[in-house]
A and B are shown apart, each in its own frame.
Chain A
Amino acid sequence: MTEREKYGSRRSRLNRMIRLRQLAQAASVLTTPLAPEDILALFNPVYSARQLRGVVTRVVQETAQSATIFFRPGRGWHSHLAGQWARIGVELDGVRHWRSYSLSAPAGKDPAITVTDVGAVSGTLVRTTRPGDVLFLAPPQGDFVLPEHPRPLLMVTAGSGITPVMSMIRTLVPRRPDADVVLVHSAKTPGDSLFREELAELADQFPNFRLAHWFTGEQGRMDLTSTDQLDELCPDWKERAAYACGPDSFLDDAEALWKRAALTTAAPGSEVAVAGTTGNLMIERFNTTFNLGVGHDGGVVTFETSDREVEADGDTPLLDVGEDAGILMPSGCRMGICHSCLTPLRAGQVRDLRTGEVHGEPGQLIQTCVSAAAGPVNLEL
């Protein structure tokens, strides 16, 4: 396809979209207060006026503990770059929960996530997702992506940390003969190792891709506190742009290792080295650490828009805390029935003063009149 054809087809698609929007606007005269999408959702669940959705097209079991879920996203999604992640909303017992998952499909192909059964949300995804199910989505994002210009690469991954890297390998290795990729992947046993067959085939087929497995069940944990093992697995690791993804401790060690390596190569006392550069290493962390408040702990309440911080105890409603700090708080009945006070939670958790339940996820709307801080809390107000 020539550039001009490409441009032409893009323009006609744009025109089609504009026409579609005009049509939707015209139709909304008949559907108000609903949007035409609300009616179309009766026939196709990806339609929604307010939220991006996707329909599961295929579920592939990867290991005993993990599965890859392919989905067809609705309007509003944009195609992902290799290595990016997306927020996926799943319903557990009727309640929407959001988690971030790396997209394991190559760039340019239909999106897919590979999920390992840890925790309630991932477990539900792995065990119960079927083709036709609806997933709630946020468009792909993330900076853990391939370099703009070709250069030798080293991927160091552990466990499910391979998922974003798998997208990179699938994107790069078969399509770019000039690629030079080494993957060092650590898993407990061969049976637990994600994408093992596909990786072996790629390594057989493409000389520009080299694969080194590390099985902790047989060899013990990969030791990244010294360079010995890495020197053996990939002698030229210092010359490569490196990508690491895996559990926190694994990444902490990798980060320290590269930092030291950068220190030894940098001039002594160099500002750059002191500033903590990790040289050629790029890291993707899976956010698994939660700030779970317990019992009656209060905490610092941060009102982000108002830029105020207030110390609060664990029994005072956040509504009172905010009002005492001079924040313009939406409020109503002050007893948990009218929902006039709903405020988006940005971080932390709250305790329901009625039930004692500690809950909260970023983005969730909470009733400030019956919620107290359970640890540090950030509110959007």
Chain B
Amino acid sequence: MSVISPSKTTPASTKGSAAGGSRTRPGKLAESGSPTVRPPAAAHLSDEQVAELGRELDAIRDEILAKRGAEDAAYIRRMIKIQRGLEISGRAALLVSKNKAAWVTGTTLLSLAKILENMEIGHNVLHGQWDWMRDPDIHSTTWEWDFVTPSRSWQHTHNDLHHRWTNVVGKDNDVGYNLLRMDEQQPWKPVNLANPLFNAILAPLFEWGIAIYDLELTEYKEGTKSKEALLKDLKALGKKVVTQFTKDYAATPAVAMLTGSGKQALYGTIAANAIRNVWAHAVIFCGHFPEGTDTFTEEMVEGETRGDWYVRQMIGSANISGSKFMHIMTGNLSHQIEHHLFPDLPSSRYAEVAPRVREICQRYGLKYTTGPLIKQVGSSWAKVFKLALPGKTATA
């Protein structure tokens, strides 16, 4: 490197000037060595073993990259077609939803369409899982989803912050979404008594919870997010709220009024959004909160190598076992472990790599948490209740 490289060696500028100068590169993984503290569940592994584990997982990734092609492209296009078919038929049925059967059909189809759009399509497209196709219609930079939070805001808090700092208390705000106490390291406050109540309210309003969360109000208050950035996000959110509201709660009922089904159509869209919210909330909570998933301290990520990062993703995430239909409806987040290892591999490939990831976990003596949906949902709710009460405080 030429040009400005000499300044890289000078210590951090005290003037706080943004131009040029030295720059800390948070998030950069270490080439070798180990974190200051290796997580207890992986403490038995040597640096060499962790490095080897990293190489094995890299090899799995490379193998899938080599295979990725026309078949995968056809898969996502088929999903999009199915989703759009469900969407228009669901909405069409709601237009005549004075008829009870039409209401049930319309609401069901629209719920399915919204779930599919948010989970298997939106979430994964926004991760860049399909960017390799170079199709501007199915790309992380152009996709906007049927969810109230704007894609770009979500991509920042989710792809960048949550996936980079998975389960690191203090760095990954997905641990409780600034609303719930979801880890013993988080000091107990009286408000946490309302944990179960908050969570019960959050579930049917999940998209609104995420929208507020993505504004990063805490960061703004702490001064790490600028006012301009917040205003920009607020503006984008406002625009999205208006279009989403208009579509579901004004335009669809208005057209349905032509058949005297206006009120029913409104109930239908409200129900579809709520059903999608409850489902998404359940699936997301199964990702990192069930019994068996670990959280981490900042010491555990200082000096983290790629291998250690992989380890943290595996012991910090939990899968859901079930049918192929269930996997698709969760957006393959039922393969949360695989998703966290390879967030930008096509979701349709997670099932294929899962047995090999599991085998690696076994061989290295790491846990691989999985269970049926009911059990995992129950387990994450149990945590919501348990941590409502003061218990052990940070002992890690």
Contacts and interface: CB of A to CB of B under 8 A. Distances in A.
Contact of A338 (B5, B87, B309, B343): B343
A338 B244 contact: no
A51 interface: yes
A110 B116 CA distance: 39
A334 B28 CA distance: 6
Interface string A51-95: 100000000000000000000000000000000000000010111
Interface string B80-106: 010011011001000000000000000
B140 A324 contact: no
A355 B127 contact: no
Interface stretch (B70-78, B180-188, B272-280, B292-300): B70-78
Nearest to B137: A50
A268 interface: no
Given A42-B84, A50-B136, A332-B160, A342 B131 contact: yes
B27 A334 contact: yes
Nearest to B62: A355
Interface stretch (B18-26, B215-223, B375-383): B18-26
Contact of A355 (B29, B65, B133, B246): B65
B344 A336 contact: yes
A34 B344 CA distance: 23
A30 interface: yes
Given A93-B69, A334-B27, A339 B164 contact: no
B2 A96 contact: no
B243 interface: yes
B98 to A, nearest CB: 19
A325 interface: yes
B154 to A, nearest CB: 12
Interface string B130-157: 0111111101111011100000000110
B107 to A, nearest CB: 17
A338 B163 contact: yes
A167 to B, nearest CB: 29
A48 interface: yes
Contact of B137 (A48, A311, A320, A337): A48
Interface of chain A: mostly helix, strand, loop or mixed: loop
B69 A340 contact: no
B374 interface: no
A325 B3 CA distance: 7
Interface string A13-57: 000000000000000011111100011001000001111000000
Contacts of A325: 3-4
Most chain B CB inside 10 Å of its own CB: which residue of A32, A51, A96, A325: A32
Interface string A337-361: 1111010000000000011000000
B70 A334 contact: no
A29 B131 contact: no
Interface residues of B, number: 64
Most chain A CB inside 10 Å of its own CB: which residue of B20, B68, B135, B240: B135
A267 interface: no
Nearest to B243: A32
Given A94-B133, A95-B133, A333 B1 contact: no
B159 interface: yes
B146 A33 contact: yes
Contacts of A323: 23
A341 to B, nearest CB: 10
A325 B42 CA distance: 39
A45 B62 CA distance: 33
Interface residues of A, number: 44
Given A30-B247, A33-B144, A340-B156, A324 B128 contact: no
A365 B131 contact: yes
B343 A337 contact: yes
Contact of A96 (B91, B133, B141): B133
A339 B159 contact: yes
B232 interface: no
Contacts of B73: 91, 94-95
A342 B127 CA distance: 12
Contacts of A38: 84, 137
Most chain A CB inside 10 Å of its own CB: which residue of B240, B255, B344: B344
B6 to A, nearest CB: 10
A48 B139 CA distance: 14
Contacts of A34: 84
B255 A339 contact: no
Interface in A286-318: 310-313, 316
A98 to B, nearest CB: 9
A236 to B, nearest CB: 49
A302 to B, nearest CB: 13
A33 B243 contact: yes
A340 B155 contact: yes
A266 interface: no
B128 A338 contact: yes
A320 B3 CA distance: 12
B251 interface: yes
B8 interface: yes
B56 interface: no
A335 interface: yes
Nearest 9 pairs of A and B residues by beta carbon: A94-B73, A339-B128, A338-B159, A33-B144, A93-B69, A96-B134, A332-B160, A94-B70, A32-B243
16 contacts: A32-B244, A32-B247, A38-B137, A39-B87, A51-B137, A93-B69, A94-B68, A94-B132, A96-B133, A324-B1, A333-B160, A335-B164, A337-B163, A337-B344, A339-B141, A354-B58
